[in-house]
Amino acid sequence: MATTRPFALLSEFDKPADVMDAAEKVRDAGFTKWDVHTPYPIHGMDSAMGLGNSKVGWFTFIGGHSHRRQTDV
Amino acid sequence: MSEAAPNIKLEAPPIELERDRFVANNLGMGEISDQICDVIERPTPLWWKICMVPALLLLSMLGCMIIYLLTTGVGVWGNQHPVMWGWAIINFVWWIGIGHAGTLISAILFLLRQKWRTSINRAAEAMTIFAVMCAGIYPLIHVGRIWYGWWLFPIPNANGIWPQFRSPLMWDVFAVSTYFTVSVLFWYMGLIPDLAVMRDRCKKFFGKFAYGLFALGWSGSNRHWRNYEKAYLILAGLSTPLVLSVHSIVSLDFAVSNLPGWHTTIFPPYFVAGAVFSGFGMVLTLLIPLRTVCKLEEIITIRHIELCCKVTLTTGSIVGYAYFMEVFIAWYSGSSYESYAFWNRAFGPYWWGYWAMISCNVVIPQLFWFKFFRTNLKWVFVLSILVNVGMWFERFVIVVTTLAREFIPANWGYFKPSPIDILTYLGTFGLFFTMFLLFLRFLPMIAISEVKGVVPQADPHHPLGGAKPGGHH
């Protein structure tokens, strides 16, 4: 059974500027389930992918405030 | 107005004014990985085996010394009335001080966006962890009855017995254990992307499994990098106060007491500056031979060495200022005990320690004002060792001169270390170098992904990163 719908698309880039351009186009085309894999973090890629701020800060904040005070020992 | 606006054109600086790049010869991304991983992937180098033998011998000697101490008692050390604090605390403070460069490089220089840190931060963080381990041995074994070591920690118990919270030695336990925990977390966090690199390169099954286990499934996804970078930033923010707090608290071990020469407010900043000074000394001592034997001259460049020298010069001068201020305040205070303490340091029975400290910490580092000394590796290596010799003498002078000459002359004495003191100290070098050599052989000693991130080829706004003239990238 031949299917015409591709399961996934993979593309390789040589330069960070190229992958960033491509990411912006994919973002503007409205895709949501996609990712960019790089050997180092590329500055500006978060906005090029349309990602918001990381939630790690909130986890840290809640974790930092959730110690139990032991006053009754 | 608008037509008067000048058309400013910034011209590129002339080539001779351009700074050296952080990675020489424009290495490609793959070449960076190859160079850094080469130390791990090639057969065990001869220099590694040659260094490992004395390191392991010294480590076993440390084990013997600790067993002897614990089975016999702390009397095997040279601690005698009136100098009841001897080499144990001197070496503790010395090792902890060395540990300060790692966090300074990884946290403070990260927050200050000092990109040159990337070539040296991994090794410096490893050095920090191992130095803190060496330091941590002393508080543990100096209690003599080590099976009561858990008394150091405020563990709720049925008897309601607590440690003395008003003692700075108790604060030390918290400061050092927090510092160690955060340093290890920071180090591991930075290792994750590089462990993934090692996992992907490793050809042996066990190595692949072990690197893969600790790489936590890292794939280089930008959705991961986003969280990773946030977590790194938060950890940097959390460890920045630790750089300052740990040695401040160590200094309070002395400053909170009432003895002349110790009871001064300058101690916390002076100790922190000294700690960073000695830490950078150790970073230089380790990196200068390493960049040659591991063939990493293109990644740890002369510019990195020079910048480390400048930090050493700055902190060394702060330490020199503190020495001068101590003497000035001792005179200005009009307190005869305080004045005597400082006169005694310079001209008393331990004059040799004081002048060794002044020459190694204040006078000799001034050579780093000259580019010749900052860029000549043999000189930098020798000077960096002298820095740590000087910093050892600083702790010796502080601990011993004050205790040997306190208020009542009937309590005066002269401190001599026992052979066990000396051998235990040498043994801690065995622990340090064994750990460091293992680190070099099994983990990437330079942060691969971070170095890649600071080269121009990685910058989407740089021509080498593929940016097109006129385009917005």
Average pLDDT over every residue of B207-224 = 92
B225 touches chain A (CB under 8 A): yes
Confidence band (pLDDT; 50, 70, 90) for B356?
very high
**Could you say which of B29, B231, B461 has the minimum Cβ distance to residue A56?**
B231
pLDDT tens string B42-73: 889 999 999 999 999 999 999 999 999 999 98
Does residue B18 form part of some domain?
no
What is the spatial distance between Cα B78 and Cα B353, in angstroms, rounded to a whole number? Answer: 17
pLDDT tens string B237-253: 988 898 889 999 999 99
Are A60 and B221 an interchain contact pair (Cβ–Cβ within 8 Å)? no
B positions 102-161 inside 8 Å of A (CB)? 156, 160
pLDDT value of residue B12: 64
> Could you tell me the residue ranges of all domains in chain A?
16-35+42-62
Does residue B129 form part of some domain?
yes
Joined tokens for residue B369: 């004002």
Confidence band (pLDDT; 50, 70, 90) for B5?
low
pLDDT value of residue B2: 46
Look up the CATH number of the domain holding residue B288: 1.20.1630.10
- Total structural domains within chain B: 1
Share of chain A above pLDDT 90, in %: 26
Burial class (CB in 10 A: 0-12, 13-18, 19+), B303: middle
Instruction: Write down the ipTM of this complex.
Output: 0.88
pLDDT value of residue B13: 63
| Nearest residue to B215 via CA among B462, B463, B448 | B448
Residue A22 Cα, gap to closest chain B Cα (Å): 12
Does residue B465 form part of some domain?
no
Does residue B473 form part of some domain?
no
Pick among A10, A21, A27, A38 to test the B interface (most B CBs inside 10 A) = A38
pLDDT value of residue B465: 79
Name the closest residue on chain A to residue B234, using Cα atoms. Answer: A57
Are B227 and A44 an interchain contact pair (Cβ–Cβ within 8 Å)? no
pLDDT at B1 over 50: no
Per the structure, the complete domain to which residue B446 belongs is given by: 25-142+164-456
Q: Residue B222: list chain A partners with CB under 8 A.
A: 35-38, 41-42, 45-46, 49, 51
Does residue B20 form part of some domain?
no
Does residue B149 form part of some domain?
no
Does residue B128 form part of some domain?
yes
**Could you say which of B197, B234, B466 has the minimum Cβ distance to residue A18?**
B466
Q: What is the mean pLDDT of chain A?
A: 84
Q: Residue B459: list chain A partners with CB under 8 A.
A: 16, 43
Pick among A18, A20, A28, A40 to test the B interface (most B CBs inside 10 A) = A40
Helices vs strands, H then E, count in chain A: 3, 0
Q: What is the mean pLDDT of chain B?
A: 89
pLDDT at A44 over 70: yes
What is the spatial distance between Cα B151 and Cα B161, in angstroms, rounded to a whole number? Answer: 9
